[in-house]
Amino acid sequence: MTYEQLELTQQTRALSWANHTLSQAETQMARNVASLPFVFKHVALMPDVHLGKGALVGSVVATKDALIPAAIGVDIGCGMCAIQMPFKSAKLDGKLKQIRQDIESRIPVGFNENNEADKQVLNWQGWQDFKHLHNGVSHLAGKAMRQMGSLGGGNHFIEVCIDETDSVWLMLHSGSRNIGNMLAQRHMSTGRELARMAGERLPDRDLAYFVEGTEEFAAYWRDLQWAQAYAKYNRDVMMARFKAIVERHAVGGKPTKPVLSVNCHHNYAEKEVHYGEEVYVTRKGAVRAQENDYGIIPGSMGAKSYIVKGKGCAESYCSCSHGAGRRLSRSKAKKTYTLDDLVQQTEGVECRKDEGILDEIPAAYKPIEQVMANQNDLVEVVATLKQVVCVKG
């Protein structure tokens, strides 16, 4: 699909890969972001775009000399990790329930955390820089260590999947846990206070920003990069535990070498070159899809997921969607569907089937097949996955 051009302001446009007309609230949120004077060229909206806080989830914003924390979000560095295992699904026959139970006993989910940090966690080089982070999180060092290697809640998940060649894949979705959230909240609060003191009239108070060259910008950029690294390593720690569990059941605990490994953020910011200029690119619910970049686009817990390779589309700032995108809010999903609906829609998947995850029912999400069809100019599909085990936060 080619994009649709939306005229939001006289200066800045939005290019949308969604196959639907944005709601009034979504259009206004895109217009708010596009109206900021430092936004570069245009805003790119991915096929799974939907309402967020301050900025749309599924939006890509390039800026010159400024950063908007809300255009990244509070779960800094949230993203996906997947590995293709060197064996077929027959190795898992009759073992799926035990694998799920072992994952749940080994990897904390929801608000739970590890009792103590293990050797892999303690060896992370990032701890050396913790003392340089925002002074409002100095008391959270112990919690950050214990949460390293934990999943979190909401739409975070761990899955065993099978692809179209019958190969086994391990996949998980998580971010920077409480420490990333706390860092983001503190910097957003600082940005709002700066705007208030300057008497600046923002289209949305959540779009407070930092200007390059200021102390506040430097502090946010430092903490942002740290939290992104924390999130990536958090996924590595969980994947190592996850892989060992599956290997114990599938091949008697013998370590194996993955055929392919992918670990990518979808809530983050980096310096990149686009249209010949160096800019800050913030992706909120979007994955980098430069030419030959590997990415992961998951569906809901009852639908297909995709391993993809980027095509380097300039108009999208070399980006693609990060998933199916929600169709219903969590509260609306709980009011609309029953436990029987959840059981029916997750048939064939070894997972929890209780009201605690009713807000994650597959029908609460957009059809992933349509989302993929809308971005065939952004990515090519490398593998199509279907989960057989799903552990939710």
Question: Which candidate in 42, 187, 265, 322 is catalytic?
Answer: 322
Phi, psi (rounded to 5 degrees) for 329: -65, 165
pLDDT at residue 211, as a whole number: 98
Instruction: Tell me the three state secondary structure of residue 71.
Output: helix
Per-residue pLDDT tens digits for 276-295: 999 999 999 999 999 999 99
Q: How far apart are CA 92 and CA 245, in angstroms?
A: 12
Query: What percentage of the chain's residues is helix, strand, coil (to nearest 5)?
Result: 40, 30, 35
> Residues marked as binding?
75, 155-159, 173, 266-267, 298-301, 305, 322-325, 392
> Residues marked as binding for Mn(2+)?
75, 156, 173, 266
pLDDT at residue 21, as a whole number: 84
pLDDT at residue 300, as a whole number: 86
Structure tokens, 177? 């846990």
Instruction: Give the 3-state secondary structure of 227-261.
Output: HHHHHHHHHHHHHHHHHHHHHHHHHCCCCCCCCEE
For the chain, list residues with pLDDT below 70.
1, 10
> Residues marked as binding for GMP?
155-159, 266-267, 298-301, 305, 322-325, 392
From the list 209, 220, 214, the residue with the least C-alpha distance to 32 is: 209
Domain boundaries in the chain? 4-327+365-392, 328-364
Single-letter amino acid, residue 97: K
Q: How far apart are CA 152 and CA 154, in angstroms?
A: 7
pLDDT at residue 8, as a whole number: 80
Q: Which CATH architecture has domain 4-327+365-392?
A: Alpha-Beta Complex (3.90)
Give the pairing of strands 350-351 and 379-392.
parallel
Per-residue pLDDT tens digits for 102-156: 999 999 999 999 999 999 999 999 999 999 999 999 999 999 999 999 999 989 9
Per-residue pLDDT tens digits for 35-71: 999 999 999 999 999 999 999 999 999 999 999 999 9
Q: How far apart are CA 293 and CA 39, in angstroms?
A: 25
Q: Is 322 annotated in the active site?
A: yes
